[in-house]
Structure 1
Amino acid sequence: MAAQIVNIVAVGTLDTKLAEYLYLRSQILASSPSTNVILIDAGRSETHHEAITVSQPEVYKRSGHDGSLKSLPRGEVIKTMIKGAISVINDLYTEGNLHGVISLGGSGGTSIAAAVMRELPLTLPKLIVSTVASGDTSSYVAESDITMMYSVVDIAGLNEMLRAVVANAAAAIAGMAQSYASRCATPKERETKKKGIGITMFGVTTSAVDVARRQLDAQGFEVYVFHATGAGGRALERLIHEHRLDGVLDLTTTELADELVGGVFSAGQDRLTAAAKAGIPQIVSVGALDMVNYGPKDTVPDKFQHRNLFEHNPSVTLMRTTPHECAELGKRVASRLRDNCTNPGVTEVWLPLKGVSAIAIEGQAFYDKEADGALFDAIKRGLYGSGIVVKEVDTDINDPTWAANIARRLVELVEMKRIS
């Protein structure tokens, strides 16, 4: 049997880094002779070489921009070439001709490559060798699965160190792409895959999530747990957009509190909208909406130093949400569900009346009956008449019976959706 052809895209600014990309290409081909390297030029100026598959003018044309690229400021050039490269690479993916993407670059080249890669589906291999990979890469990676490799030296001329780093990267992307190509499911295999359920979790809701997860596992579901740290919530929303989930147990919506008050774990304004728009079964709860997250205690803004603070560990400080903040959070939960919900019959909100986290129950540091009441009342008012069921349960969020019941009910909603 003939070896499977694996297609790897190498995208970068070839007007400044052609030699490095040609070396990368040679190392990929050396690692995997059955691989085809598609070299895409996203630079500012056109570069000529027989190894270039998609030229800079072609990429620029795909951006839809009129006029001279050279007349644009650097930032606009990058945005324009990002748009064109996304168009080119998305077509390759749609045609089934893409098994991995790799890039070499400094901050500008990394910005282009990362923006392109973030548009591609999760699990398709993505690797960036970058001069900025040793710092905070959150703006490049976001909720995607981009792999970042530090270049050690600048990508400005080949030397012993850079050759070794690029050779490692070439071997890595070749191996990842080969693995990805070999496991790409056929339509028949996709039909037999388990149904996927997403669950949101935080340390203070882990007990409930563990019970629900075990129950869903036992009933044959593929369970994906998302840590509600901002990126986790965005990843959940993304998997829903990519049609990879059949149901959601959004037990832990704490990221909305960070968005409202300015904590470090905000997931943005799209949080809690994807499942409603998609019309897939979901049960939403209010896990950890009693808290806003900050780093070490001295990073909490001065204006909040008088508030009820709880040192979760030396790196994480929690701040109790007030009744006023909880009322606003309840409004946001309700409005995001109500305004986006295309199928109210498979959406429910469950409220644990005795505590929304492990430290919000009676006797614990964040117990605040008034604040919880404001949260619950706002949700009930906001969803009144929407067709979305609101279920109040006289227990706390980590009660094992509650967790088992909420998982059981989600299974019923998924089955109802399947039958309908």
Structure 2
Amino acid sequence: MSKTILIAGTYDTKDAELSYLSQVIEHQGGSVLTMDVSVLGDPSKPMDISKHQVAEAAGSSIQAAIDTGDENGAMQIMGRGAAAAALALYRDGRIDGVIVLGGTMGTDLALDLCSALPVGVPKYVVSTVAFSPLLPPERIPSDVQMILWAGGLYGLNSICKAALSQAAGAVLGAARAVEPPKRDKPLIGMTSFGKTVLRYMVTLKPALEERGFEVVVFHATGMGGRAFESLASEGAFAAVFDFAPQEVSNHMFGGLSAGADRMTNAGRAGIPQLVAPGCYDLVDFVGWQPVPEALSDRPSHAHNRLLTSASLTADERRQVAGAICEKLSQATAPVAMLLPQQGCNEWDRPGGDLHDAEGLAAFCDEVISGCPGTVDLHVLECHINDPAFSAAALQVFDAWLENGTVAAR
């Protein structure tokens, strides 16, 4: 059960706090490696990974960071170096988890460092801005843990020790308990929402598991799409069922974005894609905040107290169709698009809160006319939540299995 935790931070200004983390981890029977990401100052004692080694891992130097004359530019150099150095340590089997501590500057670096490590490696960030809107979803690693560093801006005290000791115990406990992702079955990534709005995963997940695949379903509300894209960029999936690309609409119209690269990484990585436009017609915004002015005159659905979805106009839906087609045109592996012409979420059925037959027709027409020739388009006379939709998806996938586009092992 001996585990080694990488502790990273600016030891020139936060030596006492970082050293306290080491003490707690070692008192609990763990080991530590220390990484200094300071620029101007020096730690009170030598670190396992010095600031010079961190800068060199970024293909730079501490002097070059100083010469930028800009704290932001200097710390971005250190962020790149910390990410590269941490990944090398993990690949060499020298660390089992990581904890990074900081304010806004340290948190910015922490997101780079933690993003470099694979899913399943325990990653903890102790931050004065944890859970803050300062942190965009596209910067947050898919399985990072954060704790608010209350009272931790400067110096140790009993309040901040409560957060630091929890984080130290948590990362060591996670390193001892973690069950890393298995690779004994090919993985399928699927995007969706809860069963009240999209239901295909209820049918598709067991059907794909019977075919020998492991299925991972991502909640496409910004963070889930970010995790999906992160794993797609690593080539983790044998195929994807990207049936809830609403984050594309969100990014275009100011909703809960998963980043500008949403719906592109599977194509770049050569992963076969089955695509459908689930909830393409909606823009999500934070339900407990005022409705954005640009969406104030739209029909909307309050999903709960956290999340409200507003409907797009027919013209905006055409724009979304064009953006999706453009993204799919860049794919380097087969793409099949399923277009259910009777609707793409439960709320847009006739009689539903957000039913808009004209808008749906506009979207479908734009997809049909603008679909790239490299995309296998299937126009379906059904709703996305009908059994016929899931049956059509499995029919395409089975054909891919038969012709070798997707391998079952």
* TM-score computed with the length of structure 2 as normaliser: 0.89
Q: What does residue 158 of structure 1 align with?
A: 156
Instruction: Specify every segment of 5 or more residues in structure 2 that has no aligned partner in the other structure, as ranges.
Output: none
Residue type at the aligned position of 1:330: A
Distance (Å, rounded) in 1 between the aligned partners of 2:157 and 2:85: 32
Shift of 1:411: 4.4
Aligned to 1:90: 87
* Residues 1:170 and 2:161 are matched in the alignment: no
Match of 1:273 in 2: 264
Among residues 361, 365, 368, which one is paired with 2:349 in the alignment? 361
Match of 1:109 in 2: 106
The correspondence for 2:4, drawn from 7, 25, 33, is 7
1:249: how far off? 1.0
1:226 offset after TM fit, Å?
0.9
Q: Judge conservation of contact 1:355–1:396 (CA < 8 Å) in 2.
A: yes
Q: Provide Cα deviations, 1:79-110, integer angstroms capped at 9, x if missing partner.
A: 12112212221221232322101122222222
Change (3 A) 1:234 1:28: same
Q: Is the 8 A contact 2:130 2:146 kept in 1?
A: yes
Quote the residue 1:302 is aligned against: 293
User: In 2, Cα distance between the equivalents of 1:393 and 1:119?
Assistant: 41
Change (3 A) 1:77 1:405: same
Q: 3-state SS of the aligned residue for 2:301?
A: strand
Q: CA deviation at 1:49?
A: 4.7
RMSD: 2.6
SS of the counterpart of 1:77? Answer: helix
Shift of 1:158: 3.1
Aligned partner of 2:273 among 276, 282, 294: 282
Which residue of the partner structure matches residue 329 of structure 1? Answer: 320
Q: Distance in 2 between matches of 1:39 and 1:405?
A: 53
Equivalent position of 1:53 in the other structure: 48
SS of the residue corresponding to residue 309 of structure 2 reads strand
* Code of the aligned partner of 1:409: V
Task: Select the residue among 206, 214, 224 that pairs with 1:222.
Answer: 214
Structure 1 counterpart SS, 2:242: strand
Among candidates 373, 377, 385, match of residue 390 of structure 1: 377
Task: Give me the TM-score of the superposition, normalised by structure 1.
Answer: 0.87
- Assess if the C-alpha contact under 8 Å between 1:205 and 1:397 holds in 2: no
Q: 1:10 to 1:284 in 2, by over 3 A?
A: same
Q: Secondary structure at the match of 1:53?
A: coil
Contact 1:309–1:319 (Cα < 8 Å) also in 2: yes
Show CA shifts across 1:28-74 (max 9, x none): 12212xx4311010012342455511112222333334645445222
AA aligned to 2:233 is H
Paired residues for 1:161-200 under 5 Å? 161-180=159-178, 183=179, 190=183, 193-200=184-191
Structure 1: unaligned runs, 5 residues or longer: none
Correspondence for 1:18: 15
- Contact 1:292 1:318 survives alignment (8 Å): yes
Structure 1 residue 150 displacement after superposition: 2.2
How many residue pairs were aligned? 403
Instruction: Please say if 1:349 is aligned against 2:349.
Output: no
Q: Is the 8 A contact 2:250 2:284 kept in 1?
A: yes
Work out whether residues 254 and 289 of structure 1, in 8 Å CA contact, stay in contact via their aligned partners in 2. Answer: yes
> 1:113, 1:128 within 8 Å by CA — same for their partners in 2?
yes
Partner of 1:27: 24
**Aligned with 2:111: secondary structure?**
helix
1:77 paired residue among 55, 71, 74: 74
Separation in 1, partners of 2:101, 2:206: 42
**Partners of 2:128 and 2:259 in 1: CA distance:** 28
Identity of aligned residues (%): 31
Deviates more, 1:47-56 or 1:98-107: 47-56
Listed one character per residue, the Cα deviations across residues 217-268 of structure 1 (whole Å, up to 9, x for unaligned) are 34332111111112211211111122222111111111122122222x2222
Work out the CA distance in 1 between the residues paired with 2:187 and 2:228: 12
Deviation at 1:350, TM superposition (A): 0.4
Structure 2 contact 6–35 (Cα < 8 Å) conserved: yes
Q: Does 1:100 align with 2:92?
A: no
Provide the C-alpha distance between the structure 1 equivalents of 2:180 and 2:93, rounded to a whole number of angstroms: 10
Identify the range of structure 1 (365-374 vs 238-247) with the bigger mean alpha-carbon deviation.
Answer: 365-374
Q: The residue matched to 2:8 in structure 1 has which SS?
A: strand
- Relative to structure 1, the CA distance from residue 205 to residue 250 in structure 2 (aligned partners, 3 Å threshold; closer, same or farther) is farther
- Measured in 2, the distance between the counterparts of 1:31 and 1:262 equals 45
Q: Secondary structure at the match of 1:350?
A: strand
1:47/1:55 contact within 8 Å kept: no
Q: 1:63, 1:83 within 8 Å by CA — same for their partners in 2?
A: yes
Residue 305 of structure 1 and its aligned partner are, at CA, apart by 2.6
Q: Is the 8 A contact 1:355 1:362 kept in 2?
A: no
Q: Which of 359, 367, 372 does residue 360 from structure 2 map onto?
A: 372
Give the Cα separation in 1 of the matches to 2:107 and 2:146: 10
Residue aligned with 2:113, SS: helix
1:247 aligns with 2:239: yes
**Structure 1 counterpart SS, 2:347:** coil
Q: Distance in 2 between matches of 1:414 and 1:13?
A: 51
Aligned with 1:311 (options 299, 302, 314): 302
